[in-house]
Amino acid sequence: MAAFGARAAGSLPGRNASPGFRFTLCALICVGLMIVDQRGGWLDQVRYVLQAVAYPLQLVVNSPTTAWRILQDNFESREALQRANAILRNENRRLALRSFRQDALELENAQLRGLQRALPSLIDRWIAAEVISIELNSLRQRVLINRGTQNGVFRGQAVLDERGLVGQTTRVGPWSAEIILVTDPEHAVPVQIERNGLRTIAVGAGDALALPYLPANADVKQGDVLITSGLGGVFPQGYPVAKVVKVQRDAIQPLAQVLAQPLAQLERDREIMLVWFKDTHPAAPAPAVGEPKGGAQSLQSQPAQSKEVPEITRLGVPKAGPEPPIINPAATRPAAGSDDNTPPPKNRTPEIE
């Protein structure tokens, strides 16, 4: 083995080992790697290191884009900057006006819930991260960001932009992390329709989201806004996800075909936000069973978490029809009803497994 290794990597034309033998060895290495990587998280530390090694190269690949951006930023005209500034100031005023009543509303909400004082805010802290322009895989909707465990990022963390939900982190390296976007075919997010509280699951469909589990007679129409339902253990309740753009009801199909466009600007985002939520808040994501959730996860705790945080991927999408909990009329509570004092279920719900 050692001799082979020396020859494979070394500087002499090793003609002694037959190519067939060398290929078999390579194949065995790869198959072994795959099995170890797929099972147990033994390779997580190796991957962590590899992600760190790949990061400089990824930065190099990204450098033309970065250079272009810096050039653009530097040579932006005074008028353009002033225009942008005016827009931002307007936006700021709009947001301020919207949030003036926030405190009063929160207090009122607390009184309705029979609490003594308003709940603390849901968001514990957040950091901005920059998207690194790296093509991970054109058929998978993933992006790389420039924050990792060094910034306290953990696996299965919610990612937002200023318009809505972006996705969640999957692989976290020391300085970089991979985000799976809500539009990835392997991603599913439990949502509810804002208008009537109807709960369902939004599955990624490439450049949009599909709602594959809504019965044909479900109350959904074009223009409905989907918000997170708080189930699933990753996203808290009430964050905007997508807007329904197409509803197709076929007489012969038991299910409605619904497509929704994500509200977050997934294609154009340069900066996104990584958010930590307060576990104690009623709208916080239901924690995975027996798993503490929090920031600053050490590297060692990643493997365990990777199994527990429901990577809400492929919830039996192809074979399963409408799942009972979803078409259950009890789930179609009006929006007001969903705001009562029952916190989101703390257990993992059947449709998330």
Partner 1 sequence: MSALAEYEREPRGRMIFTALVGLTLQALTLPYWLAVIRPQFLVLVVLFWSVNAPRAGGLTLGLVAGLALDVFQGSVLGQHGLALALITYVAVREHQRIRSKPLLQQSLLVAVALALYEFVAFAIDGWTGHPITNPLRWVHVLTGAIIWPLVPLVLARR
Binding site for partner 1 (CB under 8 A): 8-9, 13, 15, 19-20, 22-23, 26-27, 29-34, 37-38, 43, 46-47, 50-51, 53-54, 57-58, 60-61, 65, 133-140, 142, 170-171, 178, 185-186, 206-207, 313-314
Token digits of residue 311: 């990577």
Give the shortest CB-346-to-partner 1 separation in angstroms: 28
Give the shortest CB-23-to-partner 1 separation in angstroms: 4
Nearer to partner 1, 73 or 135 (CB): 135
Give the shortest CB-136-to-partner 1 separation in angstroms: 5
Nearer to partner 1, 71 or 86 (CB): 71
CA nearest neighbour of 59 among 169, 171, 146, 147: 146
Nearer to partner 1, 110 or 259 (CB): 259
Nearer to partner 1, 157 or 332 (CB): 157
Nearer to partner 1, 170 or 192 (CB): 170
Three-class secondary structure of residue 103 per DSSP: helix
Nearer to partner 1, 14 or 287 (CB): 14
Q: Are 347 and 289 in contact (CB under 8 A)?
A: yes
The C-alpha atoms of residue 306 and residue 171 are separated, in whole angstroms, by 9
Give the shortest CB-38-to-partner 1 separation in angstroms: 5
Residues shown for the chain: 353
Strands 225-229 and 271-277 turn out to be: unpaired
Give the shortest CB-353-to-partner 1 separation in angstroms: 15
Q: Residue 284 carries which side chain, given as an amino acid letter? A: A
101: burial class by Cβ within 10 Å (0-12, 13-18, 19+)? exposed
The C-alpha atoms of residue 1 and residue 5 are separated, in whole angstroms, by 6
Q: Are 239 and 226 in contact (CB under 8 A)?
A: no
Token digits of residue 179: 């985000």
Give the shortest CB-120-to-partner 1 separation in angstroms: 36
